[in-house]
Amino acid sequence: MKDLILNNWNIIRFLRLGIGVAIIVQAIIAADILFGLAGLLFAGMAVFNASCCGGGACATPPPGKKSGSKDVSYEEVV
């Protein structure tokens, strides 16, 4: 868990964290609970590196090796 939180930080994670913190601050200023929950969602997504495809469920498999072309034989039908 510690490894998940501390490693693999990229620009998108920092962006999500910044948006989450900004939303939380704005929610505290406006005293809006629903807005605060949205901020916690964004900040939590950044901290735990979760997203719509957080578990890699949307990733496409790497292309496999092609086994070459098959020779196709045709018969003439009269």
Query: What is the Cβ-side half-sphere exposure of residue 71, based on CA atoms within 13 angstroms?
Result: 1
Residue 21: which of 2, 3, 47, 1 has the closest Cα? 47
Whether residue 3 is predicted with pLDDT greater than 90 in this model: the reply is no
* Per-residue pLDDT reduced to its tens digit, 4-62: 677 878 888 898 899 999 999 999 999 999 999 999 988 988 888 876 665 556 666 67
* pLDDT category of residue 2 using cuts at 50, 70 and 90: confident
Tell me how crowded residue 16 is: count the other CB atoms within 10 A of its CB. 20
Total-model pTM: 0.61
**Can you give the three-state secondary structure of 7-52, one letter per residue?**
CCCCHHHHHHHHHHHHHHHHHHHHCCHHHHHHHHHHHHHHHCCCCC
